[in-house]
Structure 1
Amino acid sequence: MLKTTRKGNWMEIITPNNWAGKTIEEIFREEWEVPKKLTHQLRMEHTVFVNGNKANWTKPLENGDKVLMKLFEEMVPLITLDFFYDLQVLYEDDHVIVINKPPNMSTHPNDESDKSTLLHAAQFYVQSKGENVTIRQVHRLDKDTTGAILFAKHAVSGAILDRMLEKHEIKRTYLAIVDGHIKKKKGKIIEPIGRDRHHATRRRVSTSGQAAATHYQVIKEEKGHSYVKCWLETGRTHQIRVHLSHLGHPLLGDTLYGGKPLFKRQALHAAKLEFKHPITSETIICYAPFIDTPPIFKGIDIYNI
C-alpha cells in the first residue's frame, strides 16, 4: 500500500520500491491511468516536484526520492455552501469520502434552484472541516434510494475513479424488497434499458436501449415479498428497478414501476461499496447501515450480505 502525507495543498510520497525505476509520466499514465489531458495539464502547471526540484517527467525515480504533488486545488465555488445536513460518513481520507445517503435527497442539483442535494451537504461538510477543496461525485443514487455513495476530493482521484467505474472495478451491492417470490432464486438479468417515450422520467426494457446486466440473489422470503441482493455490471438509470419489474417483481414502494405503495419510497438500499483506493491501491470496503425511520429493511445483517 502506498503511503501518502498531505502538506497543505500538496501530497508527499516517499518513492517506494515498486515505483523505483519508473518515471513520473509512467506513474500517471500506467500506474494510475490518469487521462492524457489532465496529465498534460499537471505537467504544464509544474505541479510535481522531486527532492525539492521541478520534476523531470521522463527521468526514472529512485527508491527514497521525495515526491510532492499539488493535488488539492483551491475550491471553486460552483455551488452554494449554506446547506448543512448531519451526514453519516462511512469512510474518509485526503482523497475520497464515502457517505451514507439519506432518502428523499437528490445526489446532485438538476437545476440552479436545487440547493439542498447531497453534493451541497458534502461540500459544506468538508469546507467546515477546513478542507478548501472541490469534491466530485463518482456515481449517483436515485433521490429515494439510500446507501453508500462515493465522492472524490480532487481531480486526480476523481479521474482515476471515473475510469474504474467505467471498467466496472467499483463493486456496488444493493438490497431490494420486491413483490412476490422469485421462482429462480439466483440469476442474471441481461436486458437493454432505454427511455420510455410515453413518460418523461421512466425507463423500460427496450431492444434499442443501452446494454444492462444485473445479478441478483434472493436472501430472505416473507409472506408476499422477498429480500433480494443485487450487484451491477452496468450503471443505467433505474437499472435495478426496471430489471426486477421486468422480471415481474417490482420493488415495494416503487409505484413508477408497478410496486405496491407499502413504503413512501422504493425499497432499495446501496448496502455495500467496494473499491481499490485510487491513490494508495488499498482495498476499501464500506457497509451502509439502514437509516429509514420507521425502518424498511428488517432482520438483515448488512455485514453478511
Structure 2
Amino acid sequence: MSYRGSAVRRGEWLEVMPGKLPQNIDGPSSAVHLWLKETLGMHPKLISRLARQDEIKLAGDRIRIRLFPPRDFGFEPIWTELNVLYEDDYCLVVHKPAGIKVHPTGNERQPTLAHRVAAHYMGQGEQAAVRHIHRLDEFTSGPVLYAKNEYAQLFLDEAMSVKKIERVYVAMVQGTVQSPAFRIDAPIGRDRHHAGRQRVSETGKPAATQVTLLETLQDASLVRVTLETGRTHQIRVHMSHIGHPLVGDALYGGSTRYFDYQALHGEALIFPHPLTGETIEIKDPWPLEFTELHRRLAW
C-alpha cells in the first residue's frame, strides 16, 4: 500500500485524486471501494460503514471521504506537560515519562498519558478519540503511538499484528553480558505464584527478543533490545531469565541500589504511515534520569 498522490484535508473530509480507477464490472462505486482498499489500505469494515452512511463521494476526478468526524476524547482532559515527538492528521507520537501510566486502571496517583493527550487535542481544537496503538509499562519511558481517526487506527492495529511496527529499547542490565548479539526465544506466561508477574513457561505464549551489547559498565551492561513479539514485561522477563535482570527491577530480581525502577527506555519507534505507507522513524532521547544512571555506572 502506497499513495503518493494529492491528498487534502477539508474539515471532516479527505479529498484524494485516484487517477484511473480500477476496472470493475459492478460500476464506479465498487471501483472506488476497490481503490480505497488496495491503494489507501482502508479496512473493508470501514469502507462498508462509510458507504452505508454516504460518506464516500465521487466528485469528478476526486474522491471525498469523511475520515475526520468529531469524536469524544474518551478521557477527561487534564492539562500538564506533554512532549510531542511527531504529529499529523493521522498519527501522534508522544514521550511517556517513567512513572506515568498509558491509560487509567483505577489506582492512578497522577494524570495518565491518555488524560494528557486528551488535553493536547482540546488545546488544538481537535475532537479526536484518544486511541493508543501500543502500551509501555508504568515505569518504562519512551514513545507511544496514537491513531487520530478510525482509518489510522485500523491500519496501525493491522501493522502491529503483522509486526510492521518496530520498537527499539535500551536497557541497563546487571552483570557483564558476554555475547555481542543474541536472540532470546522463550515463551512467556503468567506467574501463578505472584500476582502481576510474568515468567518463562513452556505453556506460555511465544516470545522472542533480539539483544545487542552496546557497552560494558561497572557491574552492569548497556544493551539495545528489539521486540519480535509484544508480551507483557517481555524484556524484563527475558533478561532476568538469562541472569541479567534490569537494574532497578526488583520484581524480576534486579537491585535497586542505583535505581528505583527498571532501567528501560524506548529509544525508537518505526511504523508505516497510514496514508502514504512511508516509513516513519521517531527517536526519543534518553531522559535525564537514564543519562545520570549511565554516568554513575560508567567505568
Q: Tell me if TM exceeds 0.5.
A: yes
User: Which of residues 255, 271, 275 in structure 2 aligns to 1:275?
Assistant: 271
CA distance in 2, matches of 1:135, 1:176: 29
Partner of 2:172: 177
Instruction: Give the drift of 1:3.
Output: 4.1
Q: Indicate if the aligned counterparts of 2:188 and 2:199 stay in contact, CA closer than 8 A.
A: yes
Q: Which residue of the partner structure matches residue 57 of structure 1?
A: none
Q: How does 1:180-195 map to 2 (within 5 A)?
A: 180-195=175-190
C-alpha displacement at 1:49, in angstroms? 1.3
Structure 1 segments of 4 or more deviating over 6 A? 112-115
* Map of 2:215 onto structure 1: 220
How far 1:50 sits from its partner (Å)? 1.6
106-115 or 231-240, which deviates more: 106-115
Of 42, 56, 68, the residue aligned with 2:50 is 42
Moved more, 248-257 or 39-48: 39-48
1:152 maps to which of 135, 147, 150: 147
Structure 1 residue 158, shift from structure 2 partner: 0.3
How many percent of aligned residue pairs carry the same amino acid? Answer: 37
Give how far 1:148 is off.
Answer: 1.1
Q: Which amino acid aligns with 2:186?
A: E
CA offset digits 1:248-297 (Å, max 9, x no partner): 00000111001110212211111001111011212211000122347446
CA distance in 2, matches of 1:254, 1:213: 20
- TM-score, normalization: structure 2? 0.89
- Cα pair 1:263 1:296 within 8 Å, conserved: no
User: What is the CA distance between 1:146 and its match in structure 2?
Assistant: 0.5
- 2:33: which partner in 1? 25
Q: Is the 8 A contact 2:183 2:211 kept in 1?
A: yes
Please give the secondary structure, in 2, of the residue aligned with 1:235. coil
Q: Please tell me whether the aligned partners of residues 2 and 279 of structure 1 are also in contact (alpha carbons under 8 angstroms).
A: no
| Partner residue, 1:60 | none
Q: Which residue of 1 aligns with 2:124?
A: 129
| Contact 1:186–1:216 under 8 Å retained in 2 | yes
Structure 1 residues 238 and 185, CA gap change in structure 2 (3 angstroms): same
**CA distance in structure 2 between the aligned counterparts of 1:196 and 1:204, rounded to whole angstroms:** 5
> In the alignment, is residue 265 of structure 1 matched against residue 265 of structure 2?
no
Distance in 2, Cα, partners of 1:173 & 1:2: 31
* C-alpha distance in structure 2 between counterparts of 1:174 and 1:138, whole Å: 17
Q: Within 5 Å, give how 1:1-305 maps onto structure 2.
A: 1-16=4-19, 20-21=21-22, 23-51=31-59, 65-81=61-77, 83-111=78-106, 116-261=111-256, 262-293=258-289, 295-296=291-292, 298=294
- Stretches of structure 2 lacking an aligned partner (at least 5 in a row): 24-30
The 2-side partners of 1:86 and 1:75 are apart by 23
Q: Which SS does the other structure have where 1:26 is aligned?
A: helix
Whole-angstrom distance in 2 between the partners of 1:239 and 1:3: 41
Deviations 1:68-117 (A, max 9, x none): 11111212252212x11211111100000011111110011123978711
Q: Quick check: 178-187 or 20-29, which moved more? A: 20-29
Give the root-mean-square deviation of aligned CA atoms: 2.0
Unpaired segments ≥5 residues, structure 1: 53-64, 300-305
Pairs aligned (count): 284
